[in-house]
A = this chain, B = another copy of it.
Amino acid sequence: MNSYGQMMVKKSVRDTLRLDQVDLATLDPAGRPIGPRTKKEAADDLAVTGDELEALQEALYAEDSRAVLLVLQGMDTSGKGGVVRHVMGLVNPQGVRIASFKKPTAAELRHHYLWRIRKVLPDKGHIGAFDRSHYEDVLVPKVERLINAAELRKRYKEINAFEQELADSGITLVKCFLHISPEVQKERLLARLGDPKKNWKYNPADIDVRSKWSKYQDAYTQALRNCRDTPWYAVPADRKWYRNWAISRLLLETLREMNPAFPQPAFDLEAEKARLVNDDPLR
């Protein structure tokens, strides 16, 4: 407990942010329901969390039997990429696997929607992060009425089963809904338009999606309600520093609970030391 932020946290971040009843309208995207009150406190805490995360990650990697998968969902500009950069950037890239899911390609559409997801699941020992995920396949098709209600229900069921399968295979999911307000989204889209180095992140179709804000909130609500055999965390995302802090702590609490252990050597340590000390390959 080395920093103010960490001392403040009595209740866990997971318990605080876990979505039990999914009612997005009651959640404040600018809220700070637990933890640091200021950007400075959050930054200090993030550095400490980073050190512990990296140590836990190394043990997870050495153990080589389980994995973590951070699932990031949220409206455009909610900060999925920012979390990858600032939270996943805290740990050793050797043990990290990032995948992002854009609009499905023609090849992807010829397969089951979980096909492209399964291809990039994190290997054992790794921490994966999905920038968007299989949830896109119950959001866009619902809003755009590409599938009917029965197919949607089928997908919710499939997703619950898929996530249970991941758990059974040793992959712990940390599912985060990055919750922003339409006002903050407008600011961030304008920032993308105003900076030549950010123009590439902007897509005119983003406004088409934005214009269906309520429909997307409804699609999220249904998806989150129907697919929470594995819990969802709602992360207030209007403040970037709070969002990054919260997700770093969700990962930390998850890894602490997993408690990965460095494996015992399968060889005789003293015998190996003796071999090495007596060895001189150039003699």
Contacts and interface: CB of A to CB of B under 8 A. Distances in A.
Interface in A171-221: 182, 186, 189-190, 193-194, 196-197, 199-202, 204, 207, 210-214
A45 interface: no
Contacts of A276: 186, 189-190, 193, 207
A81 interface: yes
A225 B265 CA distance: 38
Given A204-B272, A207-B275, A276-B207, A85 B96 contact: no
Interface stretch (A16-24, A86-94, A106-114): A86-94
A213 B96 contact: no
Contacts of A277: 190
A190 B279 contact: no
A248 to B, nearest CB: 14
Interface string A57-76: 01100100000000000000
Q: Report how many copies the assembly holds.
A: 2
Nearest to A55: B197
A193 B273 contact: yes
Nearest to A97: B98
10 contacts: A58-B197, A85-B92, A85-B94, A93-B96, A94-B131, A182-B280, A193-B269, A193-B276, A199-B269, A210-B281
A3 interface: no
User: Interface SS of chain A: helix, strand, loop or mixed?
Assistant: helix
Contacts of A190: 273, 276-277
Nearest to A87: B93
Contact of A279 (B196, B210, B281): B210
B262 A199 contact: yes
Contacts of A202: 265, 267, 272
A193 B265 CA distance: 9
A83 to B, nearest CB: 10
A264 B199 CA distance: 8
B98 A89 contact: no
B262 A214 contact: no
A13 interface: no
A273 B62 CA distance: 50
Given A189-B276, A200-B265, A213 B281 contact: yes
A93 B72 CA distance: 15
